[in-house]
């Protein structure tokens, strides 16, 4: 009998201990759930009407060396895009895209003055601060680099307009576009014969490659290109036809050559440093074919005055 009582007491003690543990576990889970809910509170977004893409001129003073004459200081224009992705009470989040370089930024918005202060991370030598003011659908202001010795123009001005990026396979270069590649001149040795003396002399001259009107006829986003269409084209023709595909998808070009051609249009808006996944199957096939021909194609060069 005594043994039975001891056994019952032991069982009761185990049951009570089990209940306490279960109670503690339940309380713990409850607290964790509350904490999780508290930590996952979504900070409300505000001023969504200001979200979007602002694209336009990015200008700074730089020393310019002309083909003839002395070096002088002048305005150098580039195209820049600012993407405002999110605004909260305390922060603004987005990206800057220029010269094929896409950088995140974070900052603040002042509702009273309708102005932004936006800082890039600072871990790249070209990072800086944007101080811009909103006026309707326009953003104007300046950008100042953090490391003033890292760039030619440490302060640049911005004049941007809000735009809506749209992919359109019909987009083409304007037929009145300048078709000269000014970024890659090549030196040639030529000969000159004096008519009076008959003496022939050699001299060096700088020439630029140029495209043909084939770039207005072939669209690698709409038609399956053939070897017959490509075999007699210049290298620059092939490069432009190929890169028109990427331009239509909003690719931000690192090379001056391609930026220059597409910035002559009113439809080109650089929005990304990588659009590979956006290309259609046909566009990808055409790019592969164009790359094959680009590898062996030749260019035509001539002298041009600016």
Query: Measuring CA to CA, how many Å separate 117 from each of 17, 36, 141, 273?
Result: 60, 33, 10, 23
pLDDT at 38: 47
DSSP assignment letter at 274: -
CATH 2.40.128.120 segments of the chain: 48-163
Query: Measuring CA to CA, how many Å separate 53 from each of 49, 77, 124, 286, 302?
Result: 12, 19, 23, 29, 39
Say which residues have a Cβ less than 8 Å from residue 7's Cβ, sequence separation at least 6. Answer: none
pLDDT at 5: 46
Fold of the 186-302 domain: Methane Monooxygenase Hydroxylase; Chain G, domain 1 (1.20.58)
pLDDT at 147 over 60: yes
CATH 1.20.58.1690 segments of the chain: 186-302
CATH superfamily of 48-163: Quinohemoprotein amine dehydrogenase alpha subunit, domain 2 (2.40.128.120)
Higher pLDDT, 306 or 16: 306
169 in Cβ contact with 248 (< 8 Å): yes
What is the spatial distance between Cα 62 and Cα 114, in angstroms, rounded to a whole number? Answer: 30
pLDDT, tens only, 250-286: 999 999 999 999 999 989 999 988 999 999 999 999 9
Q: What are phi and psi of 54, to 5 degrees?
A: -120, 120
**Sheet of strand 200-209, all strands in order from the earlier edge strand to the far edge:** 186-193, 200-209, 301-302
What is the spatial distance between Cα 49 and Cα 51, in angstroms, rounded to a whole number? Answer: 6
User: How far from each other are the two terminal CA atoms of the chain, in whole angstroms?
Assistant: 115
Query: Quick one: average pLDDT of 70-96?
Result: 90
Among candidates 185, 270, 168, which has minimal Cα distance to 221? 168
What is the average pLDDT value for the chain, to the nearest integer? 86
Task: Return the structure tokens found at 220.
Answer: 């690698």
């Amino acid at each position: 009998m005594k043994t039975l009582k001891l056994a019952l007491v032991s069982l009761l003690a185990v049951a009570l201990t089990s209940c306490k543990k279960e109670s503690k576990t339940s309380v713990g889970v409850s607290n964790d759930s509350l904490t999780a809910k508290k930590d996952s509170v979504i900070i409300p977004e505000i001023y969504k009407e200001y979200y979007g893409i602002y694209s336009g001129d990015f200008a700074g003073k730089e020393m310019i060396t002309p083909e003839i004459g002395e070096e002088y200081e002048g305005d150098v224009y580039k195209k820049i895009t600012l993407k405002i992705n999110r605004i909260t009470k305390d922060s603004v989040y987005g990206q800057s895209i220029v010269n094929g370089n896409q950088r995140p930024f974070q900052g603040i918005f002042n509702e009273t003055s309708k102005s932004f202060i936006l800082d890039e991370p600072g871990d790249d030598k070209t990072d800086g601060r944007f101080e811009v003011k909103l006026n309707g659908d326009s953003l104007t202001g300046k950008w100042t680099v953090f490391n003033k010795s890292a760039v030619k123009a440490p302060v640049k001005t911005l004049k941007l307009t809000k735009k809506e990026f749209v992919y359109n396979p019909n987009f083409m270069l304007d037929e009145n576009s300048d078709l000269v590649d000014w970024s890659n001149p090549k030196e040639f040795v030529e000969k000159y014969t004096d008519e009076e003396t008959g003496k022939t002399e050699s001299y060096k001259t700088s020439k630029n490659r140029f495209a043909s009107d084939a770039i207005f006829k072939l669209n690698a986003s709409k038609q399956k290109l053939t070897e017959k269409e490509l075999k007699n084209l210049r290298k620059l023709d092939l490069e432009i036809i190929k890169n028109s595909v990427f331009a239509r998808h909003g690719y931000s070009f690192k090379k001056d050559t391609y930026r220059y051609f597409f910035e002559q249009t009113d439809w080109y808006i650089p929005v990304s440093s990588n659009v590979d996944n956006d290309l259609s199957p046909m566009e990808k096939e055409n790019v592969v074919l164009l790359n094959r021909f680009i590898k062996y194609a030749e260019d035509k060069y001539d002298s041009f005055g600016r």
